[in-house]
Amino acid sequence: MRVEMFTFLLTAAICLAGSAGVVLLRNPVHNALSLVATLFGVAVLFIQQGAYFLAAIQVIVYAGAIVILFLFVIMLLGVDKAEGIDRDPILGQRTAAIAAGVAILGLSLTALLSVGSRVTGQASTLAAIDGSEPNINALAKVLFTDYVFAFEITSVLLTVAVVGAVVLSRKAGSAIDVAEFPEGTTADLLQAKHDAAAVEQEVLEEVATEDETPEGEAETTEEALR
């Protein structure tokens, strides 16, 4: 009991410190690292409550993938410089935000602490956790029976997200250009390119032979041809 309490208090401290870091530190890289601390803390709390599979996922997906993605974007965009958090441009935003936060925290704590220490809900009769069964098995069983439809939908969601990300991260201002993907085989394309180059060459030579043509006009012709 003592060990459990100690573990909880230690992890809770790390979590709170981490989340405070996310909000208070100015450098986005530091924010991301603080976030990792919180995520690890939550993973420990998951383990403490028997959700072993989720703890693993928490570390792998959240800390391993999502935060890395954050860091990657920070580096990519070069926004790793400190942000001025001295004053807020929206009038009263910070005051209101803190007031709302205090209200939420105060009300939740009232709700939580005033009813004593017990959760008042009904214990499950349908998907009870069987102590003899490993956590992964139990979770897999409900995921692939009761929630199988939702599970399949998440795969659709992820596909949509990937497609969305690809579309968003294409070069700015360029819709898919049909000219970029002309019909025909590669050989045809190369031939066409070759022909076009030859024609252009011919035209250029023609222009060059006309000595009287002023320089500027020849250039305009060339531009127009392109």
Partner 1 sequence: MNLIWLIPCLPLFGFLVLLVAGRKLGDPGAGWWGTGVVAASFLVVVKVFFDLLALPEEERSLTQTLFTWIPSGSFEVSIGFLADPLSILMCLFITGIGALIHLYSIGYMKGDEKFSKFFLYLNLFLASMLLLVLGDNLLLTFLGWEGVGTCSYLLISFWHTDPANASAGKKAFVTNRIGDFGFMLGTFLVWITVGSINYADIGPAAPMIAGGTATAIALLFFLGAVGKSAQLPLSVWLPDAMAGPTPVSALIHAATMVTAGVYLITRLNPIMAQAGWANDVIAWTGAITALVAASIAIAQTDIKKVLAYSTVSQLGYMFLAVGTQTYVAGIFHMVTHAFFKALLFLGAGSVIMAMSHEQDMRKFGNLRKYLPVTFATFMIGWLAISGIPPLAGFWSKDEVLAGAFNAGPAGPVLWFIGLLVALMTAFYMTRVVIMTFYGSEKWRLTDDPHEAAESADLESEEVESEELVTASVAAAAHGDGHDDHHGLSPDHTPQESHWTMTAPLVILAGLSILGGAINLPFGSDFKRLEHWLEPTLAYEHELPPVPVLVLLACAAIAVASLGIFLAYLVYSKQKIAVEKIERPVLAHAWYIDETYAKVAGGPGEAGFQGLADFDGTVVDGAVNGVGAGVLGIGNKLRPIQSGFVRSYALGISIGGALLLAFIVTRMNL
Partner 2 sequence: MLALNETWYLVLAAMIFTIGSVGLLTRKNPLVMFMCVELMLNAVNLTFVTFSKALDDIAGQAIVFFVMVVAAAEVVVGLGIIVAIMRRRQGANADDISLMRG
Q: Within positions 83 to 102, which residues make up the interface with partner 1, using CB under 8 A? A: 90, 93, 96-97, 100-101
When asked if residue 91 is in the footprint of partner 2 (CB under 8 A), the reply is: no
- By beta-carbon proximity to partner 1, the closer residue of 106 and 134 is 106
Q: Whole-angstrom Cα distance, residue 77 to residue 73?
A: 6
Angle of helix 186-209 versus helix 215-225 axis, rounded to 10: 160
134 is a contact residue toward partner 2 (CB under 8 A): no
Residue 96 or 197: which CB sits closer to partner 1?
Answer: 96
Task: With beta carbons less than 8 A apart as the criterion, state whether 40 and 59 touch.
Answer: yes
- Rounded CA separation 35/66 (Å): 10
Q: Is the dihedral of CA 162, 164, 168, 171 positive or negative?
A: positive
Which of partner 1, partner 2, none does residue 114 bind to, with CB < 5 to 8 Å depending on kind?
Answer: partner 1
Interface region with partner 2, contact rule CB under 8 A, candidates 73-81, 183-191, 199-207, 217-225: 73-81
Neighbouring CB atoms inside 10 A of 35's CB total 19
Residue 23: CB atoms within 10 A of its CB come to: 9
190 is an interface residue for partner 1 by CB under 8 A: no
Task: Report the residue number, 94 or 194, with the smaller CB distance to partner 2.
Answer: 94
Q: Identify the residue among 91, 92, 149, 172 touching partner 2 (CB under 8 A).
A: 172
Q: Which among partner 1, partner 2, none contacts residue 147 (Cβ within 5 to 8 A by kind)? A: partner 2
Asked if residues 54 and 143 have their Cβ atoms less than 8 Å apart, the reply is no
Determine, following the binding rule CB under 8 A, whether residue 187 of this chain makes contact with partner 1: no
Least distance in angstroms from the C-beta of 19 to partner 1:
16
**The dihedral sign for the CA sequence 210, 211, 213, 218:** positive
Rounded Cα–Cα distance for residues 56 and 136 (Å): 11
**Of 168 and 179, CB closest to partner 2:** 168
Residue for token digits 């860091």?
Answer: 71
110 binds partner 1 (CB under 8 A): yes
The only residue of 86, 91, 92, 123 in contact with partner 2, by rule CB under 8 A: 123
Q: Which residues bind partner 1 (CB under 8 A)?
A: 90, 93, 96-97, 100-101, 103-104, 107-108, 110-111, 114-115
